[in-house]
Chains A and B, each alone.
Chain A
Amino acid sequence: GAGVSQSPSNKVTEKGKDVELRCDPISGHTALYWYRQRLGQGLEFLIYFQGNSAPDKSGLPSDRFSAERTGESVSTLTIQRTQQEDSAVYLCASSYRTGNEQYFGPGTRLTVT
């Protein structure tokens, strides 16, 4: 079946603008994760959704970052008032349930100018 998809694949925005990134998880996967990958670095956890439970937002770096998920489907990550340090690849992953293998999408490369 289809894997995790993300859109857009690339996004260039001006400093101070808001951006919205989208993730479509694998059908039937109840858990969804967002990570950030800065150039040449490992992945940094941002937020986690599991079914209808309250999300784990403990990795969000500031209150400019927020994410939503509708049921067990699409998720959007919103970054308000973007800063240059927000430039990174934002990766979404999903798993059948918590603790299972996580499958990653191709990412959205965000460049803040």
Chain B
Amino acid sequence: QQQVKQSPQSLIVQKGGISIINCAYENTAFDYFPWYQQFPGKGPALLIAIRPDVSEKKEGRFTISFNKSAKQFSLHIMDSQPGDSATYFCAAIWTSGSRLTFGEGTQLTVNP
């Protein structure tokens, strides 16, 4: 199986709150897990990524938490801002392979 399952489908958060998006994967061969942010009419942009040898990676307000045994990873957006309103996709790839396998996406709305 090469599925990556993402939840929730949509998320509404107040400004300053924490946004949490979860993903689960099945293929244990995956060894690179990026998150992409997509604004309407634009292509996805790489936001942050993690490899399974670490449990957490933080870049500014964005943190990935990774649980290898549970085959789950999540994106946390601290101090969410209206400008963070976008669709977020988790993805997975085995770096000797080619294709990214994407989750279904989460539409995040941050209310002012």
What residues make up the interface of A, taking CB atoms closer than 8 Å to B?
Answer: 4, 31, 33, 35, 40-45, 48, 50, 56, 59, 91, 93, 98-107
Contacts and interface: CB of A to CB of B under 8 A. Distances in A.
Nearest to A106: B43
Contacts of A93: 43
B105 A105 contact: no
B43 A98 contact: no
A108 to B, nearest CB: 10
A42 B45 contact: no
16 contacts: A42-B103, A42-B104, A43-B44, A45-B101, A50-B98, A56-B98, A91-B44, A93-B43, A98-B95, A99-B32, A99-B93, A100-B95, A101-B46, A101-B49, A102-B34, A104-B43
Contacts of B32: 99
Interface in B82-110: 89, 93-105
Contacts, number: 60
Contacts of A41: 104-105
A65 to B, nearest CB: 15
Given A42-B104, A106-B41, A106-B42, A98 B96 contact: yes
Contacts of A45: 99-101
B87 to A, nearest CB: 9
Contacts of A99: 32, 93-97
A44 B4 CA distance: 12
Interface in B1-40: 6, 32, 34, 36
Nearest to B107: A40
Nearest to A6: B43
B46 A48 contact: no
A97 to B, nearest CB: 10
A52 to B, nearest CB: 15
A107 B43 contact: yes
B96 to A, nearest CB: 6
B98 A31 contact: yes
Contacts of A56: 98-99
